[in-house]
Amino acid sequence: MNDPAPAARKAAEYDPHSLYFLPLGGSGEIGMNLNLYGYQDQWLMLDCGVTFGEEEHLPGVDVIMPDPAFIVERRDKLLGIVATHAHEDHIGAIPYLWPQLQCPIWATPFTASLLRAKLSEARLLDKVRINIVPMSGRFSIGPFDLEL
């Protein structure tokens, strides 16, 4: 009888030449967006947002953030965060989670302006590098080619 375990292990191995999508929050729901894309052993985060607790389901909970543990453990492979736009469900967790991530951020001018205000309130403004991307700008971060 053939042992299927080696084939199953091989299929589950990480392939650095594949593109990986890993949603840590927000997929299939409104709020708490945090999506990772992995390629060539490097990761890029799109958005880092919050969602708001509902009194009937979560009494006393006002804000809920995604769990970044996966990428915190691989912080040396995290190239940065791309903030796609300035809604709370896309940037609201950055001031709270950035100390664990400590990576640069890319954003359009308007999103960067609102993000700076949030980072200032959290006393992080002088620590976070924000790269401005023009509207409809195309740019690269490591192996990733993006257009906003």
Mean pLDDT for back-to-back runs of 10 residues, the chain (148 residues)? 52 79 86 93 95 70 85 97 94 96 97 97 97 92 94
Residue 27: the pLDDT is 81
- Give residue 81's Cα distance to chain centre: 6
Residue 15: the pLDDT is 86
Residue 62: the pLDDT is 73
* Domain ranges (residues) in the chain: 16-138
CATH for the stretch 16-138: 3.60.15.10
- What are the backbone angles phi and psi of residue 128, rounded to the nearest 5°? -100, 125
CA 107, CA 46: separation in Å to the nearest integer? 10
CB of 45 closer than 8 Å to CB of 83:
no
Residue 55: the pLDDT is 66
Residue 14: the pLDDT is 74
